[in-house]
Structure 1
């Protein structure tokens, strides 16, 4: 072995982040097996690798005993003292037994070990990098697809976009650049497996963090997200700073900020509403773009009855109940919607409520 191996290990340590000591330890273990296999030796041996010169020695390890029963594993105390007069019974003597043509076998073994360790270490580095990016978004490039997945290149690794995590209004072609949300990173025998999504509510949240500086710096906080991917989403926002309009910050000048997100999600409608600690106000806001006349709260069942103008009933419920369903997901409250005429018949509409409607401070963009 020459210093070429040492140079290669130093390059690997620098470029791949693989510890030189780890590879040397693996080479030594592999060379022990190679020595026993190629030279039919059953004795106890240790391989010594010099990290400075690259030279390799095979050392037979023998127990010092009074009477030798197995010369492959034992050495008499008299013979041991020929090497060092201080040896006692119970000590271990190491004698060099490096075969003459061991260099060729050592080179082949080292190459195999280095290749394997590089592969394993790269997988470990990739896993460590991506496990810290769970619940984050990345830009990937579509590679190919089959019946189960779309395969998205994230640079060092190919991520899996399952059918159920694909947007129903999107069609993916090879070389398309898409933003994906990392949902799960698993360590497998074949390397790290990364699952991504285009439908997860977290994708919407991360997109707002990228587009809205006030969210990124913490001035505006996203309190909740409800999403039916590819169709409609609702997001509630809040700011402790009275001088900051959280909804306006997310909308941006002339709607530019939110429009960027809508474009990224291929036209998905987004309702931005103001969060409130008051369930009456919060539920009314969440039902945007519908107007709300009154909200009655049942704290024990965490349920609300919402009264809306007759002409707003279908808008409040939404197509196939979508608006009410998303509002319930966003707020965490059950929502039962009634028109004013229904409420009057049932005797549950107060006169004060019938005089005005809520200003629910929402923004909707399509």
Structure 2
């Protein structure tokens, strides 16, 4: 039968939204405090309380010493009483025995009430802090309980209160926030304070937009579409870069939805904030060009220190910069590059002014503390393409307000594009293959190879800056990362597949050198030297060694491979039990085909007679395997009457 105490206990658990164990421990702790106060027990004495929910009673157990004659029943107990709780008790032992006072119910009601309330408040506070610390960075929904000059108090679950400061509210949203209105925000910080847990909320954080995308776009929640970067000016505009983790998925279309049905609820939640969704690209130049959208871009020219120059048509300059520079700021935040936007006329005028002043284009060299000439002033104009007078005439015509024809416009664009590319020609080039070949021929040990800085292995400078920014200082850092998880580097901005190929060649060089040091090749006689590369012929066919690209080592290696190739084939024939791949097996099957496919697939050679042939109907063929001759025969298949093709 449920007692009144049991019903009150359940009501307290439901009201405080605490677990039964937490409330039980709070009540037992309060009973221990009440017992100590009632009998004036020492703090060193061990006392514990046990709650019986069915009967609604407490039992107090205290540690006492077993004595022959009890003088102080608070700390002493007789041997007979002690053996009721511990049969092995002897004189002088400390035994825990029941010590519940007879009038303990009245004492507990008077002295434990305040202690119980304090314990429950502490437990409730700890429960709230632990619950909301796990939800930092997630969206919560609440009701506006009060409005003051500093912000808003939001009622949350578990009877907690969140604080939404006015600086964390979207611009022009204050007028729409009223009492008892439901509002969503993201938890940015949770900390304890004398007045209770302080839960800080925000609606202007970038993560708030990301969580809204997770809610409304299932592909982002399931990881099919990945949000790479977010730049946001709350209440005005935001840019989001997304990419697909699976082939055949349109990340932009998945986020926008059909007729914008997925992005419109987010825009409404953010009080009309405009959202641009663009596709992320590992190539920084292409990514920056998309980030400048909706403006059209003539060219993106990367330079040192994560600086880039973007040239746009004259009529697109204001659109590229945006209102008060908003579009340019968001593009810079989204790409993490410092962007200098110029119109094509402005860029051409700067080049022409530098030519007239005979100023070379130079960049600072921090290692040598001087400036390095990247492009000489007399190289701005190339004979046979354009002249300074032609560019001056075009710029003068444009400044006078006269429209340019197509040829003049194209000439100006080509001139600016050629000069800007020449300025940064050495910045975006990769010389990894040449560097690997030199390192291979130098014979440096693996320790020296791994100690090389990433700036000295031929990688493009913008890739070097990205790697350094993410903690990859030396070849050893690249080697360890590729061995552990190659995707870690590939996810970095600027690491295109070609860059990953360059890094893989460096890793292979270090791996080969370490293997050579661990297993040094034995000294062989000169007559046996041509047979040495036979063991590595298969590996060289799949992964050519850096030295095999050019030089004497490449010629020697090619000669050795040519000599040993028949031996490898004979070995393959003599060992039929080895597994042969399907592609290799298919290459060994002779194909007998005498069919002319020029009519089906177009002209292959420059034969003039074939050009005169009338393109007829595309002929269909079928392939059959002849087991007698062990060959594959290709035959034309004709359609007769109303027969189907039979495919």
For Structure 1 versus Structure 2, the TM-score category normalised by the shorter chain is 0.7 to 0.9
Q: Bigger shift: 123-132 or 329-338?
A: 123-132
**Residue 301 (structure 2) aligns with:** 296
Residue of structure 2 aligned with 1:338, choices 342, 346, 353: 342
> Which protein has greater RCO, CA pairs closer than 8 Å, 6+ apart?
1
**Residue 161 (structure 1) aligns with:** 164
**Residue 358 (structure 1) aligns with:** none
The 1-side partners of 2:277 and 2:217 are apart by 13
**Residue 322 (structure 2) aligns with:** 318
Q: Which has the higher strand share?
A: 1
Give the aligned length: 349
**Residue 359 (structure 1) aligns with:** none
Relative distance call for 1:353 and 1:237 in structure 2 (3 A) is: farther
**Residue 259 (structure 1) aligns with:** 264
Relative distance call for 1:175 and 1:89 in structure 2 (3 A) is: same
SS in 2 for 1:202: helix
**Residue 278 (structure 2) aligns with:** 273
The 2-side partners of 1:186 and 1:241 are apart by 40
Q: Tell me the alpha carbon deviations over residues 115-173 of structure 1, each in whole angstroms, 9 at most, x when there is no partner.
A: 44443333333333322221111232222211212112223322111121111121221
**Residue 50 (structure 2) aligns with:** 49
Q: Tell me the alpha carbon deviations over residues 223-256 of structure 1, each in whole angstroms, 9 at most, x when there is no partner.
A: 1000010111111111133422211222211122
Residue of structure 2 aligned with 1:248, choices 250, 253, 257: 253
SS in 2 for 1:138: strand
Structure 1 residue 200 displacement after superposition = 0.7
Residue of structure 1 aligned with 2:154, choices 152, 155, 162: 152
**Residue 198 (structure 2) aligns with:** 193
1:175 matched to 2:180? The reply is yes
Is residue 64–residue 74 contact of structure 1 (8 Å, CA) maintained in 2?
no
* 1:130-149 paired onto structure 2 within 5 Å: 130-149=132-151
Relative distance call for 1:280 and 1:209 in structure 2 (3 A) is: same
Q: CA RMSD in A?
A: 3.3
Q: Tell me the alpha carbon deviations over residues 253-281 of structure 1, each in whole angstroms, 9 at most, x when there is no partner.
A: 11222222111111111111111101110
Structure 1 residue 182 displacement after superposition = 1.4
Q: Tell me the alpha carbon deviations over residues 305-326 of structure 1, each in whole angstroms, 9 at most, x when there is no partner.
A: 0001111111111122111111
**Residue 364 (structure 1) aligns with:** none
Residue of structure 1 aligned with 2:230, choices 222, 225, 231: 225
Is residue 310–residue 340 contact of structure 1 (8 Å, CA) maintained in 2?
yes
In structure 2, runs of 5+ residues without a counterpart are 352-379, 381-411, 419-647
Is residue 310–residue 342 contact of structure 2 (8 Å, CA) maintained in 1?
yes
The 2-side partners of 1:13 and 1:276 are apart by 54
Relative distance call for 1:262 and 1:91 in structure 2 (3 A) is: same
**Residue 31 (structure 1) aligns with:** 31
The 1-side partners of 2:81 and 2:73 are apart by 18
Relative distance call for 1:96 and 1:324 in structure 2 (3 A) is: closer
**Residue 104 (structure 2) aligns with:** 102
The 1-side partners of 2:96 and 2:244 are apart by 72
Structure 1 residue 53 displacement after superposition = 3.8
**Residue 238 (structure 1) aligns with:** 243
Relative distance call for 1:202 and 1:106 in structure 2 (3 A) is: same
In structure 1, runs of 5+ residues without a counterpart are 356-366
Relative distance call for 1:91 and 1:123 in structure 2 (3 A) is: same
Is residue 61–residue 73 contact of structure 1 (8 Å, CA) maintained in 2?
no
The 2-side partners of 1:28 and 1:178 are apart by 40
SS in 2 for 1:238: strand
Relative distance call for 1:246 and 1:82 in structure 2 (3 A) is: closer
**Residue 18 (structure 1) aligns with:** 19
SS in 2 for 1:5: helix
Is residue 63–residue 73 contact of structure 1 (8 Å, CA) maintained in 2?
no
Larger Rg: 2
The 2-side partners of 1:350 and 1:307 are apart by 9
Relative distance call for 1:314 and 1:125 in structure 2 (3 A) is: same
Q: Which has the higher helix share?
A: 2
SS in 2 for 1:233: strand
**Residue 414 (structure 2) aligns with:** 351
The 2-side partners of 1:14 and 1:175 are apart by 24
Superposition TM-score, scaled by structure 1 size: 0.82
The 2-side partners of 1:64 and 1:36 are apart by 20
The 2-side partners of 1:230 and 1:127 are apart by 31
